Amino acid sequence: MCEDLVVRLNDREYTNWLKAGHCLYILKDALHPFIEEHMRAFHRALLRDEPSLRAQCPRSCRSGDIKLSRACTPCLQWKSEILNHHRQPDSTLNWDNCTPSAWRTQHWELAKAYMPRGQARVHAAHQCDPSALLNLINYCDRFTFVHSSYVRELIKCRNELMHSANLHVSDEWIKNFKGALNRFVQLFSQVPNMTLVEQELTKMLTVDLSICATDAVDSTDMKVEDDSANYNIRPELISQWEADLLQERLRELRHMADNETMDTDQLMMLDGFLQENKDLSQRFSAELQAISALGMDKGRVDKQSSDLGQK
């Protein structure tokens, strides 16, 4: 196993960050078929109850037409229905996620109106990141059967985790996260296999990844003894968890740069982390540089970030 990874897995607060982040992916993988089914039914019900939504968009309206209210009548009708079913219709909706002319035929285009920005290229539930799915559940009133304060609690945890500048969280934070995660999972007890998912989440939060690192030095396949079962974690799998989380973080930074709200400190911290970890740096530094350049093009990144990568 790569030496940098061994060092990271012996850093308790980094593994806290990694395990908590991966828990959100476990949750997302368990929930997406259920959420997708709900959105399909929601889309069907809208078409059934409001005949004007069945009219085809005559001129391929785009998200900009929706924002400026210059779209065709059927697309504006869809916009109005989306707002009618939004739990906070006065908040900013990310119309750039959507292709309005597809609202009539594609339930996931409808779902994307309730998500954070950056979903334009996503076309199915399984391609979403955890934040997208959590926000959909929070904002779309199709999900009024769940206690929204528990959903918001988990969204808050997810944001703290992803915005942790040094990619570390404390044991105390993990304790609170575990409570929020359990309360959220209880909301979806009707989802098939949720009991198994709950066990998997508990295992993930208790597994000692530093043992994985030690055991794996001589072996590419490692086993961690658990009270109930062997829990197999291969180093490639851990690297994949890291990649998922770093890609999510980079996507957020890119959207910030696109919207001229670049957080230079966050960019510097992530750059520092990548410089220290050559294995990750090889994979992600080019993307970070591109984001930094984009931020500078937009004129909002100060002199500090021009030093990125020049250490």
List of residues contacting Zn ion (CB under 5 A): 57, 61, 71-72, 75
Task: Check if the beta carbon of residue 288 is closer than 8 Å to that of residue 264.
Answer: no
Q: How far is the CB of 28 from Zn ion (least distance, A)?
A: 31
CB of 69 or CB of 189, closer to Zn ion: 69
55 or 165: whose CB is closer to Zn ion? 55
CB of 49 to Zn ion, least distance (A): 20
Q: Which is nearer to Zn ion, 57 or 181 (CB)?
A: 57
Token pair 């220290």: residue: 276
Q: Taking a C-beta distance cutoff of 8 angstroms, is the pair 222, 9 a contact?
A: no
CB burial class (10 A; 0-12, 13-18, 19+) of residue 308?
buried
> Please, which residue, 71 or 267, has the CB nearer to Zn ion?
71
With H, G, I as helix, E, B as strand and everything else as coil, classify residue 140.
strand
Q: Which is nearer to Zn ion, 69 or 230 (CB)?
A: 69
How far is it, in rounded angstroms, from Cα 311 to Cα 307?
A: 8
Using the minimum distance from each CB to Zn ion, give the nearer residue, 57 or 154.
57
* Secondary structure letter of residue 228 according to DSSP: S
Q: How far is the CB of 103 from Zn ion (least distance, A)?
A: 9
Distance CA 95, CA 63 (A): 5
- What's the min distance (Å) between Cβ of 43 and Zn ion? 17
224 backbone dihedrals φ, ψ, rounded to 5°: -110, 125
Which of 134, 46, 58 has its CA nearest to residue 82?
46
* CA gap 49, 82 in Å, rounded: 14
Nearest distance in Å: CB 56, Zn ion? 8
Least distance from C-beta 98 to Zn ion, angstroms? 11
